[in-house]
Amino acid sequence: MNGFDLDIIKKAIAAISRPPKPRELAQHLHIGQNDYRAFRQFIKNALAKGDLARIRGGRIVATSFAGKVKGKLVIARSGIGFVMPEDNSGEIFISGDDLGGALPGEQVLVELKSYRSGKSREGRVVKVIQRAGSQLVGKLEKTRHGWQLKPDDPRISHKIELDNPDGLALRPNYMAVVVLYEWRADFLPPMGKVSEILGPAGSPGVDIDALVRSSGVPIEFASAAIAESKKIGRTIPDEEIKARVDLRKLTIFTIDPPDARDHDDAVSYEEMPDGLIRLGVHIADVSHYVTDKSALDKDALLRGNSIYLVDRVIPMLPDILSGDMCSLHEGVDRLTLTAFIYLDQNANIKKYDIVKSVINSAASLNYDEVQRCLDNKPSPKLEKYAVLLAKMNDLAKKLKAKRVKAGSLDFDLPEPKVVLDPEGNVVDIFRYPRYDSHRLIEEFMLIANCVVAQYMMGLGAPILYRVHDRPDDLKVQVFAEMLKELGFDFSFKGEITPKKIQRVLESAKGRKEEEFIHRLLLRSLAKAVYQPENIGHFGLAFPVYAHFTSPIRRYPDLHLHRVLKLQLEKRLDSLTASKIRSTLTSIGTHCSQTEIMADGLERESVKIKMLDYFADKIGSVMPGTVSGVVRGGIFVEIDNMFIDGFIPYTSFEDDYYIYDEKKHQAIGRRKNKRYRLGDHLEVVVARVDREKRELDLLPADKFNLKTRRGKRKK
């Protein structure tokens, strides 16, 4: 027995009357003397990983038998932790005193504490399973005992003792990257070696560098992936063009943001002789260049998606592919997959056709100039497309109307646009406008995604669906209570449907609370994920949905392209389908997690720059909206700035405020004044804490009162 199976070993341990020693276990499994040394090493590794545990007398047991659980540690900003067990047995609460020096995201072994029935499980970290090689980012500090790193992550309260074997130039208040050494003991501080100096803390560029490095997302591509990308020929072979539908004479163009580099979708519109409209959605055929199991594919899967930070992009594919060879640039032949969708004048789908194609984009348009064209103010460049764009816009509006009528939730929330100068300093922050030109492309991509998903599901093909589960009943109940406090009386009895949620959005339309209600609702809904089982998309009210239209920046789209091409080329036999199906769950879980990571990094990068912006606005009076009410005070979102600040109740001088948890409000004891979700008030920027990424505010009336008092004293 040269190969050892952990599950077989665990079953053997359970079958023996009392916990065995390694030699006894080997005898039970009939492991010969020649294999015993390898077996002992396997057991040793399993103990180190926390898969097995050693008890008194050197006997071996399964970890669960020893009252220990292996899982991933999550630490909240408040300092408390939770371990998510690998066996999915439910989270385990870890107090701040029981973290044992473990860091967020680490695999740990937890010893369970005794707990009362009905209460959440509690435990303490007894072992960090693997720390060596993990990295942290923080600020360098010089002490009399040597150099330390103060981690940039506010959830890590203890400092890291530093080793500097490479002799890097260390300076106080400089940001550095530290690679951690193996965990030694919970009573000793973590240690690591300095691997990189980023620059002065808080300086433009360094702040985002620190964010990226601390996240652990891969930045550099593997040398093998770079080598592969350089070997790809830039000229499309004639035999490849002959094997595809040639659409190079069809009027096709891209519509993207003005600063976009990766153009992975293009559109066309034709009026057919039979009265139908043929909408063409043409997507870059990235799978032609990034083949399965290649070095490029492995790097793309590792990333899962491109990350669009406030001052940079961390691409899923090397720039030679994402920004050049796969990108549908104007006037260049490109390989694509095309979904032709035939619709009647009422935007009903009559039929569709999906083909391998080659296109030549007639123009690279951006949202701003297309919108000016739709507003009857076309530039000379767009005059020849004015009629075509108007017809496209009309079709998009019909598609949206049909989608909304079916129950699709339409969140038209604005997004912040942060403008930086060449040095990375904030010049301006404003609400990025939402145009009809944006909605035009969105509707065309939605219908293409639906059509391809429907086609593949009908064939029983192994693909990842983009699914969105029904919201949790408890979250919907809390949302209904919040709505009631805002003056909306909605009942969500019975099955929660998109139509019921949609009525809330319709009632809030045009009211001052509209945007706030949209954000509350988004918090109440489930997160869309990738998985091989189709359960539909609740938010879009689609019975089947998949991501097809962005293979340059999303791995699930690239994966779908591969399976689709196998089908189109009649190479998707049962054996191939079975092999693909066996990997779908793990790929879907991984891509769902990388998407969450990317979303968090994108928000944090914007917040960092916003705090820089507000650092120069101390004392400024700004309008805001109450976005949260908690025991210690209220959170206020600065209007049009998309950032929350905190006002403690002690800052209000007009009354003593008491937190009403049931009604999500604060009530003044004497004057009965209330602060509720959605209330508007003026605030003053009081303090910016870049390290903790916090913004402190004051009520504007208190600030004015202090100013008046100061004048009287003078």
| Amino acid, single-letter form, for residue 82 | F
Q: List residues bridging with 82 in a β-sheet.
A: 74, 93
CA dist list (Å): 239 to 236, 243, 244, 288, 358: 9, 6, 9, 14, 12
In a domain, 206, yes or no: no
Is residue 226 within 8 Å of residue 296, measured between CB atoms?
no
622 or 507, greater pLDDT: 622
| Amino acid, single-letter form, for residue 152 | D
Tell me the C-alpha distance between 10 and 30, whole Å: 15
Tally of helices (H runs) and strands (E runs) in the chain: 17, 33
CATH number for position 152: 2.40.50.640
Q: Verify that 621 and 600 share a domain, yes or no.
A: no
Model confidence at 385: pLDDT above 60: yes
Q: What is the share, in percent, of the chain residues with pLDDT greater than 90?
A: 56
In a domain, 164, yes or no: yes
Q: Which residue, of 38, 62, 86, is where some domain finishes?
A: 62
CATH number for position 631: 2.40.50.140
189 or 370, greater pLDDT: 370
Tell me the C-alpha distance between 260 and 313, whole Å: 10
Q: Verify that 462 and 436 share a domain, yes or no.
A: yes
In a domain, 418, yes or no: yes
Q: Verify that 556 and 415 share a domain, yes or no.
A: yes
Q: What is the share, in percent, of the chain residues with pLDDT greater than 70?
A: 94
| pLDDT on residue 146 | 92
| pLDDT on residue 627 | 87
230 or 511, greater pLDDT: 230
- Range ranked top by mean pLDDT from 40-54, 290-304, 697-711: 290-304
pLDDT, tens only, 665-697: 899 999 999 998 888 899 999 999 988 889 999
DSSP of 306-339, one letter per residue? -EE-SS-EE-SS-HHIIIIISS--BTSEEEEEEE
In a domain, 611, yes or no: no
Q: Verify that 13 and 74 share a domain, yes or no.
A: no
Span 556-570, mean pLDDT?
A: 98
Q: Verify that 284 and 176 share a domain, yes or no.
A: no
Count of domains for the chain: 6
Report phi then psi at 606, rounded to 5: -65, -40
Q: Which range among 89-93, 221-225, 253-257, 625-629 shows the weakest confidence by mean pLDDT?
A: 89-93
Tell me the C-alpha distance between 252 and 693, whole Å: 45
Chain mean position to CA 364: 28
Report phi then psi at 240, rounded to 5: -70, -40
Is residue 367 within 8 Å of residue 258, measured between CB atoms?
yes
Q: Verify that 597 and 455 share a domain, yes or no.
A: yes
Q: Verify that 261 and 375 share a domain, yes or no.
A: yes
| pLDDT on residue 246 | 98
Q: Verify that 305 and 319 share a domain, yes or no.
A: yes
The set of residues, in sequence order, having a beta carbon less than 8 Å from that of 570 and lying 6+ positions away, is none
86 or 693, greater pLDDT: 693
| pLDDT on residue 293 | 93
- Range ranked top by mean pLDDT from 36-40, 214-218, 519-523: 36-40
Sign of dihedral through CA atoms 593, 599, 600, 601?
A: positive
Which of 367, 290, 374, 195 lies closest to 554 in space, CA to CA?
290
Residue 528, Cβ density class (10 Å: 0-12 exposed, 13-18 middle, ≥19 buried)? middle
Between strands 426-432 and 174-180, the pairing is: unpaired
Residue holding tokens 């900003």?
Answer: 77
Model confidence at 714: pLDDT above 70: no
The set of residues, in sequence order, having a beta carbon less than 8 Å from that of 422 and lying 6+ positions away, is none
Tell me the C-alpha distance between 271 and 280, whole Å: 11
In a domain, 215, yes or no: no
Q: Which residue, of 89, 113, 128, is where some domain finishes?
A: 128
Q: Which residue, of 481, 506, 525, is where some domain finishes?
A: 525
Model confidence at 157: pLDDT above 90: no
Tell me the C-alpha distance between 518 and 637, whole Å: 14
| pLDDT on residue 713 | 43
Helix axes 223-231, 295-303, angle to 10 degrees: 120
Is residue 62 within 8 Å of residue 9, measured between CB atoms?
no
In a domain, 612, yes or no: no
Between strands 191-200 and 174-180, the pairing is: antiparallel
Q: List residues bridging with 392 in a β-sheet.
A: none
| Tokens describing residue 227 | 């080598």
What range defines the domain where residue 488 resides? 473-525
| pLDDT on residue 66 | 56
Model confidence at 199: pLDDT above 90: yes
Span 283-290, mean pLDDT?
A: 98
CA dist list (Å): 350 to 266, 267, 353: 22, 19, 11
| pLDDT on residue 708 | 41
| Tokens describing residue 7 | 């599950």
Which of 542, 549, 567, 545 lies closest to 464 in space, CA to CA?
545
Q: Verify that 464 and 540 share a domain, yes or no.
A: yes
Between strands 146-151 and 363-366, the pairing is: unpaired
Span 132-150, mean pLDDT?
A: 88
Is residue 583 within 8 Å of residue 559, measured between CB atoms?
no
In a domain, 610, yes or no: no
Radius of gyration, alpha carbons of the chain: 29
Q: Verify that 370 and 492 share a domain, yes or no.
A: no
| pLDDT on residue 377 | 94
Tell me the C-alpha distance between 310 and 209, whole Å: 11
| Tokens describing residue 242 | 């002959």
Tell me the C-alpha distance between 427 and 615, whole Å: 13
Model confidence at 629: pLDDT above 70: yes
pLDDT, tens only, 215-250: 888 899 999 999 999 999 889 999 999 999 999 999
Q: Verify that 245 and 122 share a domain, yes or no.
A: no
Q: Verify that 46 and 80 share a domain, yes or no.
A: no
Phi-psi group of 30: left, alpha or beta (phi > 0 → left; psi -120 to 50 → alpha; rest → beta): left
In a domain, 144, yes or no: yes
